[in-house]
Amino acid sequence: MYNLAELYYPITAKPDGAGELKPCKELQPYIRCFWGSLSEPAEGAAQPDKLSGHQPAREIIIPDTCMDIIWEWDADTGASGGVFCGINDTAFEVERAEPSASRLRFAIRFHFWAVHLFAEEPLTNVMNYYGDVDAYFPFFRRELGERLTAAGTMAERIAMTEQVLLRRLELVRGSHNGLMNTVHDILRAKGVVTVSSLGSSNGLGSRQLERLFRENIGISPKQTADLVRFQNVWKSLYRPSPQIRNLQDLVYAYGYSHQSHFNNSFKKFAGQTPLEALAYAER
């Protein structure tokens, strides 16, 4: 697959504190990163929340256009299980993960255009989905679940996961050319593109394009473009270039009709105003 990640690299609400680990070169077109517990907890380690009674802080999750498989297990009991987080189109809050004496986690964050290559079911209903990993990835528990819990380090977990994912890629036919060409057009335009131009430039009718996106990504071409534009706006806001010096520059650069249109669109996806989002990211 052409490495679309060279055109587009989405970031989280706190880009500098994500604890992300890159995949091998062969998987970079498909996998955004790995993340999770870096190692087994030390024997007798305490869980601060349980000792102090302190409730963990909340953290904001913004639409990053990625989808995650998260595998969790208890090192004491051996109980384990996984969830799949589909593509989300709105911000939400979760409890911040705190150090735990026994609860461990390993996660794969997929680029939105590549998830369907590993899924065993169409992704039609994955927008804002949070559910059992077996619903879309039965192979994960079968081929990785128990092995992940037995591994002692993040490096070991990544290595075995990469082997399994590379084998899975050898079994699939690949992506629909029209779908991938359209995704490429959206990414190259940074989401500033009309839906009517997408299908025609790739020889696809509007209904066929809609079906391909919903089955393989879980959202429509327009929703995809809107989310990609938001991510590019957020990245330009957080890491401004010489061409982007203020909010008004963002309004023009990303095709918003006026300042209030920009503000409303940003808050729709981020759950905060641009200035609030910057303040949160820098805490």
pLDDT along the chain (283 residues), means of 10: 90 85 96 85 39 58 97 90 97 75 90 97 96 96 93 94 97 89 95 84 85 97 97 95 86 92 95 95 88
Task: Write down the pLDDT at residue 98.
Answer: 59
Residue 119's SS3 state is coil
Distance (Å) of CA 56 to CA 25, 75, 97, 279: 36, 21, 7, 20
Angle ∠(168,22,64) on CA atoms, nearest 5? 90
**Whole-number Å distance between alpha carbons of 41 and 48:** 13
Q: Within its chain, how far is the Cα of 251 from the centroid?
A: 25
Distance (Å) of CA 38 to CA 13, 35, 103, 136, 174: 21, 8, 12, 26, 32
Q: What is the tally of helices (H) and strands (E) in the chain?
A: 11, 7
Contact assessment for residue 92 and residue 58, using Cβ atoms and an 8 Å cutoff:
no
How many Cα atoms within 13 Å fall on the side-chain side of residue 41? 18
Task: Write down the pLDDT at residue 28.
Answer: 96
Contact assessment for residue 138 and residue 59, using Cβ atoms and an 8 Å cutoff:
no
Residue where the block lists tokens 């839906």? 195
Q: Which pTM was predicted?
A: 0.90
Both structure tokens of 191? 């989401």
**Whole-number Å distance between alpha carbons of 270 and 277:** 7
Distance (Å) of CA 249 to CA 74, 99, 235, 255, 258: 49, 41, 14, 10, 11
Task: Write down the pLDDT at residue 103.
Answer: 86
The neighbour count for residue 247, using CB atoms within 10 Å, is 16
Task: Write down the pLDDT at residue 215.
Answer: 97
**Whole-number Å distance between alpha carbons of 214 and 178:** 14
